[in-house]
């Protein structure tokens, strides 16, 4: 007997467990099914408490689904229809004393609906399935339409405001390119006084003639692909002024997917193009500056090498020249008086060659050594006069000194005399058949400018560009260091030497030095 009782107990327990699993499975199935219902759906127990509800119902009632369990359905149903969900009525529904019912109820915040209640049984687990069909009365429909209309108008006004006050120009055209609307930025960009002036025009009228063909091709592309972005165009104002823009366009489709019109957005990029051009100019100027500085550096390196070579040669030649001079002096003493005319001529030639060689050595040494200035306030006219007094002026050349005594200049007088003598000698050499040399001074932008204008043979452009470089000469004699030394002296005064010359018309050298040199 006990054994029988144990087996029976085990059987009962198995049946209960099986029923429990079946109920759980059924609950999960129902939960998934009601979620895909197109209507709001609830499942309640015999006491009228929520067991489950789909998202459509919880959204309608504005209740958190996780907090719904345990709520009585009568708490969300107003007076109308509450009597349908009393305990007595629900018991009758389960006992099949009444048929499945349909009744009008009021849900939540005055939402009319038709409730359809059906009894469900899973073993001993009994539930009621309620499906709600939302109903709208005439006044509710009108209220809903009014609300939706107000919301729609607000959205339209918002979009219109965005359209009108966009900082970029926006144009709407039909598929033929005729303007049907535009915003304020477009009117301002193209100098239209009003929309009436712009609407009805062809979009190509706003584009530079050279870009109109490209615009037509781009609109065909937009019609085919949907949009195009950031293409550079040249547009026109209403009064013909041309300016660059950044162009974008898209096609708008209707509900059936058919193209209706184009929306074109343009941005004036004049300032950007100006900045790009300036940047390009700065880049080009920087490249030129780098090239110029590189050239100057190479020139400086070359001149430094020449200076070192000149110093070395000068020192190496000075001692032999001193020996030759001493020997010549001894020979002259021993042979006095010299009666042989041929011997006299030879000794004179040797003496002149030694003196000339010594001058070359001195020039080499002067070019190679650092220039140190001994500045003093001096009378410009007096400097010119003293320099000219050291020269032998040819009889067929007239020198006109128009240099003013004032203002006084701060210079190294002896070195400036050397510059003046060298330039004047070159002017004499340029006038073998005679001529005039005019020397003038003037003050320009704080610079003392001293000019030497001759009426000589002039010089070609290729020679003029190389003036002042060492070892450049057009004469039969000399190493071309004279003007190179003059250039260094003037640059030591923070000045410059410039030259203007035309073959057959003469040459003008201009020395420029700051008036207030520290």
Q: What domains sit in the chain, N to C, each tagged with a CATH number?
A: 2-135 (3.30.450.20), 166-268 (3.30.450.20), 276-368 (1.10.287), 376-514 (3.30.565.10)
The tens digit of pLDDT for each residue in 438-450 reads 988 888 888 888 8
Distances (CA, A) of 190 to 205, 213, 265: 11, 20, 13
Cross-sheet strand order for the sheet of 259-268: 179-182, 169-174, 259-268, 242-253, 227-236
Q: What is the mean pLDDT of residues 102-123?
A: 74
Which DSSP state fits 257? Answer: S
Kind of pairing, strands 397-401 and 435-444?
Answer: parallel
The tens digit of pLDDT for each residue in 148-199 reads 778 878 887 888 888 888 889 999 999 999 999 999 999 999 999 998 999 9
For residue 301, pLDDT beyond 80: no
For residue 211, pLDDT beyond 90: yes
For residue 10, pLDDT beyond 60: no
Burial per residue of 494-504, b for 16 or more beta-carbon CB atoms within 10 angstroms, e otherwise? ebebebebeee
| Tokens matching residue 348 | 């004179």
Instruction: Pick the closest to residue 469 from 288, 316, 298, 315 (CA basis).
Output: 298
Global pTM reads 0.40
Look-up of token digits 């005399």: 417
pLDDT value, residue 51: 85
Tell me the three state secondary structure of residue 176.
coil
pLDDT value, residue 249: 94
| Tokens matching residue 422 | 């060298």
Higher-confidence residue of 82 and 350: namely 350
Length of the chain, in residues: 518
Q: Of 7-16, 309-318, 408-417, 437-446, which gets the smallest average pLDDT?
A: 7-16
């Amino acid at each position: 007997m006990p054994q029988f009782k144990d087996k029976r107990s085990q059987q009962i327990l198995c049946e209960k467990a099986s029923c429990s699993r079946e109920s759980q499975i059924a609950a999960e199935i129902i939960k998934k099914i009601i979620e895909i219902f197109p209507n709001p759906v609830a499942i309640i127990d015999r006491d009228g408490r929520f067991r489950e509800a789909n998202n459509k119902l919880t959204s309608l009632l504005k209740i958190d689904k996780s907090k719904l369990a345990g709520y009585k359905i009568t708490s969300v149903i107003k007076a109308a229809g509450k009597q349908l969900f009393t305990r007595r009525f629900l018991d009758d529904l389960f006992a099949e004393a009444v048929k499945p019912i349909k009744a009008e109820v009021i849900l939540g915040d005055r939402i009319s609906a038709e409730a359809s209640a059906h009894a469900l049984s899973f073993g001993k687990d009994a539930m009621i399935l309620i499906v709600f069909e939302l109903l709208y009365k005439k006044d509710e429909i009108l209220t809903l339409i009014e609300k939706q209309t107000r919301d729609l108008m607000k959205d339209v006004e918002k979009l219109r405001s965005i359209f009108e006050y966009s900082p970029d120009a926006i144009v709407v055209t039909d598929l033929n390119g005729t303007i049907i609307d535009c915003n304020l930025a477009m009117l301002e960009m193209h100098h239209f006084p009003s929309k009436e002036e712009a609407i009805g025009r062809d979009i190509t009228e706003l584009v530079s003639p050279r870009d109109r063909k490209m615009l037509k091709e781009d609109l065909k592309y937009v019609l085919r692909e949907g949009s195009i972005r950031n293409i550079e165009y040249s547009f026109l104002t209403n009064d013909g002024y041309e300016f660059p823009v950044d162009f974008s366009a898209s096609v708008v489709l209707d509900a059936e997917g058919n193209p209706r019109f184009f929306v074109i957005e343009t941005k004036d990029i004049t300032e950007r193009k100006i900045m790009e051009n300036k940047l390009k100019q700065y880049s080009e100027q920087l490249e030129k500056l780098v090239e110029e500085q590189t050239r100057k550096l190479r020139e400086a390196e070359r001149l430094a090498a020449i200076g070192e070579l000149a110093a070395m040669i000068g020192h190496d030649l000075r001692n032999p020249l001193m020996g030759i001079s001493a020997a010549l002096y001894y020979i002259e003493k021993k042979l006095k008086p010299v009666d042989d005319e041929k011997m006299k001529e030879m000794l004179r030639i040797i003496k002149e060659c030694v003196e000339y060689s010594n001058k070359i050595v001195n020039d080499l040494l002067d070019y190679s050594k650092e220039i140190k200035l001994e500045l003093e306030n001096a009378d410009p006219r007096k400097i010119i006069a003293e320099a000219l007094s050291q020269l032998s002026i040819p009889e067929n050349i007239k020198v006109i000194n128009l240099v003013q005594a004032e203002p006084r200049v701060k210079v190294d007088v002896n070195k400036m005399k050397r510059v003046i003598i060298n330039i004047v000698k070159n002017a004499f050499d340029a006038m073998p058949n005679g001529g005039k040399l005019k020397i003038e001074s003037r003050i320009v932008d704080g610079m003392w400018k001293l000019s030497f204008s001759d009426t000589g043979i002039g010089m070609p452009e290729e020679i003029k560009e190389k003036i002042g470089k060492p070892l450049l000469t057009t004469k039969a004699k000399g190493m071309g260091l004279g003007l190179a030394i003059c250039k260094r002296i003037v640059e030591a005064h923070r000045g410059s030497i410039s030259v203007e010359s035309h073959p057959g018309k003469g040459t003008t050298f201009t020395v420029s030095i700051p008036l207030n040199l520290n």
